[in-house]
Structure 1
Amino acid sequence: MKLQHSAFSLSLLILFICHTKTVSLSPAAAPVQAPTVAPVQAPPPPAAQIPVLPGPINVVNILERAGHYSLFVRLLKATQSDTELTVELNHTHNGITIFAPTDGAFSGLKVGTLNSLSDGDKVKLVKFHISPIYISPSQFQTVSNPLKTQAGKGGRMALNVTTTGSAVNITTGVINTTISGTIYNDNQLAIYQIDQVLLPMELFAPNLPPAPAPAPAPLVVAPPPEKPKKAPVLESPTVPIDDVSGVASFGVHKIEEMLHWMC
């Protein structure tokens, strides 16, 4: 009897041990994952103003020293606009204003945007960021629109500038952006940082209707010339019939006297 009881106890012990191993070998619950948070995009770096350097002015060197403008520099070189700017700035008295997009501005474009442009369109795009006049920060308050660029003025190449307090806003009909800092300023050349690429309507909105033309000035019709007034007709005085007969009889008498004298 004791032997049966011991065997039963041993069986219970073996069952308990097996159950414990089964529980310990079951897979552990997966840890709860924290929700994925999208990384916050850092704002574009502020423009670092480059001091005026002695020697010839070189736009590419200025932008390379400032950093964050490698794509715009690449476009300047590819379109040979850098050479034109160097000649114009160092051999003329013309002022220049450049709106330089950051590398982050170009990364905001759709993939393949630049590659889809022809060489001529790339030239227009670069020149659309260059104004052939010098504009100081304070002169944006009074600049006239549309602002002239090396790509043209008005129509589908219009570039309009407005100010709100100290902020300078730029619109092209396709995008709106603001000037976020001054990169360089020597009273002949001004380079300003912008955080979006200036996209002209001619290249990026060809199907949009152009801006309505200003209403033509009213046509002034000159009054017709006055007709010359006719001179008044002066009527000869009417001679009474009796007076005419008197004059006639006097003439006949005179002729008779002359004939008598001659004879």
Structure 2
Amino acid sequence: MAFAGILSDCTTVLFFLVLLLGASRLYPVGASHNITTILSTNQDFSEFSAALNSSNLTAEIDRRTTITVLAVDNGVMAQLRSRRLSPEAAVHSLALHVLLDYFDDAKLHSLTAGSALATSLFQATGQAKESSGIVNITVRLGGRVAFSPYGTPEASPAVFYQKSILESPYDIAVLQVSALISFPMAEAETPAPAPESAHGLADLLSKNGCDGFASLVTATAGAARTYQRSADGGLTVFCPADKSVAAFTSRFKNLTAEAQLVLLLYHGVAKHYSENVLKTINGEVNTLATDGTKSFDLTIMNDGDAVKLSSSSSGSEARVTKTITDDDRIAVYLIDAVLLPGELFNGSAGAVAVAPSPSPVTSPAPPPAPATKSAPSPKSKPAPTSEPAPAPDSPRADQRNNAASGMASWSLFAAPVAVALVLWGEWHLCG
């Protein structure tokens, strides 16, 4: 009887351990991937990776499981820029390339009836009209796998699967495709160029204490056109006062043409922020200088009754001193300094603030400590300070993300191994 009781207990333990092992396989710990790390293994996808990051799609991809990312190389990303989509339409286009299902090479070539429909991240946002965010996957003649917007004729131009970049079954697959999936809604979101001259916005600025900045915008190739195009869909301009621009002019002339364009576009945001909304942002926004390869962010903070603008990486700061105009599409604010994007100036200098003298103001050196007659004591070491948290995109942050991903991946492996070891021990005990 005692032996039968022991055998019964062992059988019960083994039964529940088998159930636990099955549950650990059915219910994984969660997403253990990092799309930025995956794409960083090949520089051909650097622009696509940067575009995902600047569009705030990276975090959405990393938090999801059972997902497929259709990546394109830098040459295809150049085509996206040439289409001059509005910022919103560009995000929608990229979100269309994130499928909320797992498709690897084997699954693509074994589709039931040779086709499948996949919901994209764009469709999941609720911003897609009807079924414009659904992707049709078909196997064409010769076994080529094509991706196209749902509802388009099969004879229409399609995007073709080229190769697999990464396959982590039922977690994430990253596949390279031949081009960007084009859909009419994205094109419709891009406003047509205004028939009037691009000098319209410059005229508005020049009449309200921003003549210096308006002159630079008009004289810089691409700047006026970008501002005017953005004005059609909503625009906020932070215009440095004339005195600030005058103090910065000589330095501006020494910049490369590309750097001049970036600096001017850094003072604009492709969205209308009213005066009340501006005081509630307290965070980073993408400026007009942001493109598919680089992200030029500007931090907007409420500072009491004022609004402060800054670029944390360059130490550049400015304050809004006046609202020039605020209508239903365009808001223009006067600021007291020229903003310097940190990505361009590498933190070597701050903004050029309005001052009676153009010479930089330096902080006075601290006065020397008074002499004492007591014997000198050995210098004490400074108390250790807490280490600042790394920025989200810093290498150390990536290391921590990678470590977290590694722990998640290890947990997926460790649970079954631990259960197997316990099974082995119970088997020998019961044997």
Name the TM-score, length of structure 1 as normaliser. Answer: 0.56
Q: Distance in 2 between matches of 1:126 and 1:74?
A: 11
- 1:15-62: CA deviations, max 9, x gaps? xxxxxxxxxxxxxxxxxxxxxxxxxxxxxxxxxxxxxxxx97931121
Counterpart in the other structure of 2:229: 87
1:131 paired residue among 257, 269, 274: 269
Q: Could you say if the C-alpha distance between residues 194 and 72 of structure 1 is closer, same or farther in structure 2, counting changes exceeding 3 Å?
A: same
- 2:12 match: none
2:13 maps to none
SS across alignment from 1:114:
helix
Q: 1:157 and 1:87 mapped to 2: Cα distance?
A: 19
Q: Is the 8 A contact 1:156 1:201 kept in 2?
A: no
Q: 2:282 touches 2:302 (CA, 8 Å); kept in 1?
A: no
Summarize the alignment of residues 236-255 of structure 1 with structure 2, pairs less than 5 Å apart. none
Following TM superposition, where does structure 1 have runs of at least 4 consecutive aligned residues deviating by more than 4 angstroms? Answer: 228-232
Question: Quick one: structure 1 residues 77 and 131, their matched pair in 2 at CA, closer, same or farther if it must change by over 3 Å?
Answer: same
Q: 1:147 to 1:87 in 2, by over 3 A?
A: closer
C-alpha distance in structure 1 between counterparts of 2:246 and 2:203, whole Å: 22
Aligned-pair distance for 1:71?
1.8
SS of match in other structure, 2:324: strand
Aligned partner of 2:324 in structure 1 is 183
Larger Rg: 1 or 2? 1
Tell me the distance in 1 between the aligned counterparts of 2:211 and 2:230: 22
Q: CA deviation at 1:123?
A: 0.4
1:146 matched to 2:284: yes
Call closer, same or farther: CA 1:207–1:61 in 2, change over 3 Å: closer
TM-score for the superposition, normalised by structure 2: 0.35
- RCO greater where, 1 or 2, for CA within 8 Å and sep 6 or more? 1
- Quick one: distance in 2 between partners of 1:87 and 1:176? 27
| Equivalent residues of 1:174, 1:205 under 8 A apart | no
**How much does 1:207 deviate?**
5.6
Please state how far the C-alpha of 1:100 moved relative to its aligned partner: 0.5
Cα distance per residue 1:41-91 (max 9 Å; x no partner)? xxxxxxxxxxxxxx979311211222x32221122112232223323333x
Correspondence 1:60 to 2:202: yes
Structure 2 residue aligned with 1:159, among 292, 298, 301?
298
Partner residue, 1:168: 307
> Aligned residue pairs: how many?
171
Identity %: 24
1:149: Cα distance to partner? 0.5
Deviation at 1:168, TM superposition (A): 0.3
- Using the TM superposition, give the Cα deviation of residue 227 of structure 1 relative to its aligned residue in structure 2, in angstroms: 2.6
Number of the residue aligned with 1:12 = none
C-alpha distance in 1 between matches for 2:257 and 2:250: 14
Deviation at 1:142, TM superposition (A): 2.9
3-state SS in 1 of match to 2:339: coil
Match of 2:338 among 187, 190, 197: 197
Q: What's 1:114 paired with?
A: 252
Provide closer, same or farther for how the CA distance between residues 177 and 89 of structure 1 changes in structure 2, counting only shifts above 3 A.
closer
Q: 2:420 aligns with which of 227, 246, 249?
A: 227
The letter for the 2-side match of 1:85 is Y
The answer on whether the counterparts of 1:128 and 1:200 sit within 8 Å (CA) in structure 2 is yes
Greater strand proportion = 2
**Is residue 63–residue 69 contact of structure 1 (8 Å, CA) maintained in 2?**
yes
What's the offset of the Cα at 1:197? 0.5
- Residue in 2 that maps onto 1:100: 239
Query: What whole-Å deviation, never above 9, does each CA across 1:132-181 have from its counterpart, x for those lacking one?
Result: 1211111123325222111139x984421111232101112332221001
The one-letter code of the counterpart of 1:106 is V
Residue 97 (structure 2) aligns with: none
Tell me which amino acid in the other structure corresponds to 1:227: A
Structure 2 residue identity aligned to 1:164: D
Describe the superposition over 1:228-250 as per-residue Cα deviations: whole angstroms up to 9, x where unpaired. 95898xxxxxxxxxxxxxxxxxx
For the 8 Å contact 1:132–1:149, the answer to whether it is kept is yes
Contact 2:210 2:239 in 1 (8 A): yes
Q: For residues 318 and 348 of structure 2, what CA distance do their matches in structure 1 show? A: 22
Which runs of 5 or more structure 2 residues have no equivalent in the other structure? 1-194, 350-388
Cα–Cα, structure 1 residues 168 and 81, in superposed 2: closer, same or farther, change >3 Å?
A: same
